[in-house]
């Protein structure tokens, strides 16, 4: 993926967990990078190492609002647009559901229109949540999902489904070249300690000596992908020559119960861990595992980082992060 000519990538949501790793990887690959972020759930500290680098610029803005002139004026300089803008943790995206829906619908529309004007390729970060609480297992891209359009997760999963619909309409009508990634649970350094998701909660609680919160009996499953594997896949998908008329699942197909995840964290944290059971959130999916056959075939990609190795790096990062900041764990 070496470039002959300097190109510019816009990363909406670039200060977030996955976005900040993506910005770094794009810089390493020779792109100039514009990071657009409203810093609502992301943290500028994720960009500390990047802000001094030539070729990197940060623009504070919300994709629900008209895009800042500093971006629209760059016009055809921008050849790649990654849309990662949206809170992704259930408690955070449910905190302002209207804004979550608008971020996905209005934000995606604004970025697609920019892609159309600039002639840039557009990648939507969609989600495994488009499958809802799946009746089919593992989930392949053909499966149309089991989603509640009236429940508390709808602002996010229906928002992403609408964003996918709009993205494919732009492609069908020849307005933009697109790629759609359906991202499954991802973890690693740069997660917000207050994010409220299972890996950040359990790791931070364990490190702080607090009881770890397990929702329900812990028998529900997820499949956890290390962030560097995910970023590699996103860039491969963006740069691949596949016709972008199909979504591609990206995630780690190794499925674990939440109780097994806790055991894996216990193995990394050298202290007694007390468990506090809490009620299962409404519409919490029972099982989730990606079928990544399409990503393997089209991109030659599969995750390389096992859970123990990824968790070791994550625990190490959180330990340093918690030592730097006064701690706080939500939910
Ligand atoms: N979960 C948990 N304890 C927590 C946070 C989450 O047991 O402190 C559970 C949650 O109910 C879900 C799974 O872990 O079944 C993954 O939750 P997360 O919010 O990380 O992501 P989701 O896949 O639900 O979007």
Tokens 């840039």 belong to which residue? 120
Res. 327: pLDDT tops 70: no
Counting ligand 1 atoms within 8 A of each CB, the residue from 197, 251, 281 with the most, and so the one to mutate, is 197
Helix (H) or strand (E) holding 56: strand 56-60
Q: State the virtual CA torsion across 213, 303, 22, 128 in degrees, nearest 10.
A: -60
Residue 255 CA, chain-centre distance (Å), reads 18
Catalytic residue numbers?
A: 156
Q: Does residue 72 register a pLDDT over 60?
A: yes
User: Whose CA is closest to 313, among 273, 264, 272, 271?
Assistant: 264
Please give the pLDDT value at position 14.
98
Q: Which of 4-18, 91-105, 308-322 has the lowest mean pLDDT?
A: 4-18
**pLDDT tens across 190-199, in order?**
999 999 999 9
In order of 290, 301, 306, the CA distances from 264 in angstroms are 20, 25, 11
How do beta strands 255-257 and 186-187 pair?
unpaired
Taking only the tens place, the pLDDT of each residue in 194-231 is 999 999 999 999 999 999 999 999 999 999 999 999 99
Cα 197 to ligand 1 centre (Å): 5
Distance 54 CA to ligand 1 centre (A): 38
pLDDT tens sequence across 108-151? 999 999 999 999 999 999 999 999 999 999 999 999 999 999 99
pTM comes to 0.96
Q: CA gyration radius for the chain?
A: 19
Name the residue with the closest Cα to ligand 1, atom 16.
198
What Å distances lie between residue 136 and 62, 143, 290, 297, CA to CA? Answer: 36, 7, 11, 21
Q: In the chain, pLDDT over 90 holds for what percent of residues?
A: 92
CB 293 within 8 A of CB 209: no
Rounded to the nearest whole angstrom, what is the distance from the C-alpha of residue 40 to the centroid of ligand 1? 21
Average pLDDT over residues 4-25: 94
Domains of the chain (ranges; CATH) run 8-185+225-253+288-303 (3.40.50.720)
| Over residues 71-95, mean pLDDT | 94
Q: What does the pLDDT read at residue 4?
A: 59
Cβ-based burial of 257 (10 A; exposed 0-12, middle 13-18, buried ≥19): middle
Output the residue whose Cα is nearest ligand 1's atom 11: 215
Contact 81, 71 (CB under 8 A): no
Q: Is the pLDDT of residue 2 over 60?
A: no
Ligand 1 touching residue 222 (CB < 6 A)? yes
**What are the tens digits of pLDDT across the range 162-172?**
999 999 999 99
Taking phi first (over 0 means left), then psi (-120 to 50 degrees means alpha), and beta for anything else, what does residue 17 get? alpha
Distance 203 CA to ligand 1 centre (A): 13
């Amino acid at each position: 993926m070496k470039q002959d000519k300097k190109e510019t990538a816009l990363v909406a949501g670039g200060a977030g967990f996955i976005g900040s790793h993506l910005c770094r990887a794009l810089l390493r690959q020779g792109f100039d990078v514009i990071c657009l972020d409203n810093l609502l759930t992301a943290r500028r500290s994720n960009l500390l190492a990047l802000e001094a680098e030539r070729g990197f610029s940060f623009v504070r803005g919300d994709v629900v609002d008209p895009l800042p002139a500093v971006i629209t004026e760059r016009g055809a300089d921008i050849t790649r647009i990654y849309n990662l803008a949206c809170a992704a943790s259930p408690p955070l995206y449910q905190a302002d559901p209207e804004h979550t829906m608008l971020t996905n619908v209005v934000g995606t529309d604004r970025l697609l229109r920019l892609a159309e004007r600039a002639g840039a390729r557009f990648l939507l970060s969609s989600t495994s949540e488009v499958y809802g609480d799946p009746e089919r297992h593992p989930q392949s891209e053909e499966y149309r999902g089991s989603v509640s359009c009236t429940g508390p997760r709808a602002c996010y999963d229906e928002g992403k489904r609408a964003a996918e619909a709009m993205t494919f309409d732009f492609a069908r009508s020849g307005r933009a070249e697109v790629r759609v990634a359906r991202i499954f649970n991802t973890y690693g350094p740069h997660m917000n300690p207050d994010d409220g998701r299972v890996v950040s909660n359990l790791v931070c609680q364990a490190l702080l000596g607090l009881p770890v919160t397990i929702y329900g009996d812990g028998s529900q499953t997820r499949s956890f992908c290390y962030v560097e594997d995910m970023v590699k896949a996103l860039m491969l998908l963006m740069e691949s020559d596949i016709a972008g008329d199909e979504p591609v699942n990206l995630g780690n197909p190794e499925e674990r119960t939440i109780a097994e995840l806790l055991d894996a964290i216990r193995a990394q944290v050298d202290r007694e861990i007390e468990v506090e059971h809490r009620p299962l959130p409404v519409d919490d999916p029972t099982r989730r595992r990606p079928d990544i056959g399409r990503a393997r075939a089209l991109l030659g990609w599969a995750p390389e980082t096992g859970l123990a190795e990824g968790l070791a790096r994550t625990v190490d990062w959180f330990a340093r992060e918690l030592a730097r900041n006064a701690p706080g764990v939500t939910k």
